[in-house]
Amino acid sequence: MTSLPSSILQATSFHQVEAWQTDDLSSALETFKRSYNEIKSGAHGFKRSAQFGGHKQDWLAIPLRDFTALSPRRFFERHFVPVIVNDPIRPEGLFTGYYEPQAEGSLTPSPQYPVAIYRRPPELVGFDAETQKTSGLAYGQIKDGQPHAFATRQQIEQGALAGRGLELVWLKNWVDAFFIHIQGSGRITLNTGGTIRLAYAAKNGQPYTSIGGELLKRNVATPETMSMQVLRRWMDDNPSQARELMWCNSSFIFFRDIEVPGGDLGALGAQQVNLTPLRSLAVDRSIWMYGTPLWLNTMTPLETWGGPRPFQRLMIAQDTGTAIRGYVRGDVYWGWGEEAAHLAGHMKSQGRMTALLPQAVARRLQLSS
């Protein structure tokens, strides 16, 4: 990890972070503690490098006692260095939202529940760096000793995996399934009672295509009006065309069912910790390490009930996404339910970001003495 031009990261002080004193940081500290405990026990994020990730010991240098010995604000001010983040590609920044979809389902297929959610097939593997370089594939399967692409969304939905017992649950329609794929998680209310929580397990490795972008090409909406709600409404109103539209995105997600104690914990993020609504952030995994506190200065969507308002709060990087790329780019986890879906679906806000880097990481980047 080397120092960067000051045009990317710029050291600042906490008293210069706009609205820093107004946020109640107690829930941010609880959210960060989940990340800290995961770094201590599993360190899932450190299996891959991140541009500003540092080393595991940089994060664990924070004494566990300080989680209770210090006030939340003092905790972050003592152990982190705030740095302004400037994105040379997208100077205005971009913050979107995501949520945990809810749907009705069944453990057995029927005419009412015909659409399968699949678990990961055993032959689907992630390729090492050398194989990725030679084949151009990050995920796929080995056939005759050679790497091959896995089945596309269309091939899978037309039966490529049928009859193998890989189905986790069956849903009422393709649109419900597609939005669970896009969000990477889901809460399924079973027709026999009870709930299944779905978490991301793997992807087929085929290229991701935004079907919202495809609708823009068809002049169904404009970049300003496009939202998950517009997309969902069009798909519901045009079921025959919707299948063809979904197949434009060859990427396909596989899931696993997870046990979540209580219903007040969010979906499982890529860091393998339960997400906290309005505190967990999906980020560009190549830049930020899971667990990084990130101060956002942006706005809620125009469609916020009562009108848009400042969104100035400390978030914790605990997730990632295919479309989340860039220094000042984040996806805010809004939680679950109708309001979360509404706000997440409409959020497309410009803004600024200040990263809080552990002292040791900041020193390596020559941002702190």
- Domain coordinates in residue numbering, the chain: 9-97+270-364, 100-258
Residue indicated by tokens 């004193």: 21
Burial of 41 (0-12, 13-18, 19+ CB in 10 A): exposed
**Amino acid at residue number 161:** L
Tens digit of pLDDT per residue, the chain (369 long)? 444 545 899 999 999 999 999 999 999 999 999 999 999 999 989 988 999 999 999 999 999 999 999 999 999 999 999 999 999 999 999 999 999 999 999 999 999 999 999 999 999 999 988 999 888 888 999 999 999 999 999 999 999 999 999 999 999 999 999 999 999 999 999 999 999 999 999 999 999 998 888 899 988 888 888 888 889 999 999 988 999 999 999 999 999 998 877 667 888 999 999 999 999 999 999 999 999 999 999 999 888 888 899 999 999 999 998 889 999 999 999 999 889 999 999 999 999 999 999 999 999 998 987
Spatial contact of 322 and 57, defined as CB atoms under 8 Å apart: no
Residue 22 in 3-state DSSP?
Answer: helix
Q: Return all residues near 332 (Cβ < 8 A) that are at least 6 apart.
A: 95, 96, 97, 98, 278, 281, 296, 311, 315, 344, 347
pLDDT in tens, 185-208: 999 999 999 999 999 999 999 999
Query: Shortest CA distance to 9 belongs to which of 350, 265, 287, 199?
Result: 287
Q: Tell me if residue 198 falls in helix, strand or coil.
A: strand
Residue with tokens 């065309």: 241
- First-to-final CA distance of the chain: 16
Superfamily of domain 100-258: Barwin-like endoglucanases (2.40.240.50)
Instruction: Count helices and strands (H / E) in the chain.
Output: 12, 18
CA 342 to CA 347: how far, in whole Å?
9
Task: Give yes or no for a contact between 199 and 258, defined as CB atoms under 8 angstroms apart.
Answer: yes
C-alpha triplet 247, 252, 258: angle, nearest 5°: 140
Question: How does 295-320 read in b/e, with b if 16+ C-beta sit within 10 Å?
Answer: bbbbbbbeebeeeeeebbbbbbbbbb
Radius of gyration of the chain (CA): 21
Cα torsion through 193, 194, 200, 203, rounded to 10: -20
- Please report the DSSP string for 27-80 in residue order: HHHHHHHHHHHHHHHT-GGGGS--TT---HHHHHTS-TTHHHHS-HHHHHHHHE
Q: Which residue(s) pair with 6 in the sheet? A: none
Topology given in CATH for the domain delimited by 9-97+270-364: Barwin-like endoglucanases (2.40.40)
The count of other CB atoms within 10 Å of the CB of residue 12 is 14
- On the CB side of 111, how many CA atoms lie within 13 Å of its CA? 0
